[in-house]
Amino acid sequence: MKVSFLNVWFKYDTTWVLKDVSLEFENGKMYLILGENGSGKSTFLKIMSGILRPSKGEILIDDEPVKDVWELRKRVGYVFQVPSSQIVGSTVEEDVAFALENMGLPRSKMVERVEWALSVVGLSDFKKEDPLNLSGGQKQRLAIASILAMSPDFLALDEPTSMLDPESKKEIMEVIKHLKKEGKGIILVTHDLEYVEGIDEAILLENGNVSFEGTLLDLFKMRPNSIDVPLKYGVLLECGKKID
């Protein structure tokens, strides 16, 4: 499956936040969206997941224009930057089950999906816990599980490691890499490049425009002043090695 942006524009009031964006995303790949604050990254994710509609242009699924925004929302799950904003259940398993109940799934299927999603993110032992008692990293994993249970083809993650300690950042990135291996498409916005691995394509947004699209290595080589190159990648660049 693939999702495409075709000449997409978006504005808040009179300010254009995205300008003539055309991109294509395939499941089973991980895409990194980079850019300064205000460059349009979060807006981009919200359009991709059907939360916002383009002001101009089209979103396509497998080359067919999206007519019903709910079709896009079923295919692309959005994980908010602040995980607590997604928590609605009094226990971990209830939180994951909430959206499934709204979908009208049979109880047996719902239980199966909840258990599977919690196992993927490593929270099976916490299913009876109050979500508010979880650590920051655990809350982020719960947010991912809640979206994952709805079985989207893509996950759009907005700064999923921004408020976490170094160990929790590593754990979240391991979950994300696992989901990619399982065939999910990953669209990732993050400033924590030190923890990023497995990127298939990097996209740089500047003032709402796509100013670069290619490998992370080429981005660091061609646009060294546009992004802070993490130390570990700087060493690889000096050695001329490939960045995975």
**Residues whose CB is less than 8 angstroms from the CB of residue 224 and which lie 6 or more positions away in sequence, other chains included:** none
Catalytic (active site) residue 159: yes
Task: Supply the pLDDT for residue 230.
Answer: 63
Q: Is the pLDDT of residue 67 over 70?
A: yes
Q: Is the pLDDT of residue 224 over 80?
A: no
Residue-averaged pLDDT of the chain: 90
Could you say which of 36, 101, 159, 206 is catalytic?
159
Residues 97-120: what's their mean pLDDT? Answer: 91
Q: Which of 90, 110, 108, 92 has the alpha carbon at shortest distance from 100?
A: 110
Sorted by where each starts, the structural domains of the chain and their CATH numbers stand as: 2-85+152-239 (3.40.50.300)
Task: Supply the pLDDT for residue 242.
Answer: 53
Radius of gyration of the chain (CA): 18
Percent of the chain past pLDDT 90, that is, above it, reads: 70
pLDDT tens, position by position, 133-158: 999 999 999 999 999 999 999 999 99
* Token couple for 213: 């699209």
- Which amino acid, residue 216? L
Percent of the chain past pLDDT 70, that is, above it, reads: 91
Q: Is the pLDDT of residue 197 over 90?
A: no
What CA–CA distance (Å, rounded) separates 88 from 25?
A: 30
What CA–CA distance (Å, rounded) separates 78 from 76?
A: 7
Q: How many residues does the chain have?
A: 244
Q: What angle do CA 44, 147, 173 make, to 5 degrees?
A: 75
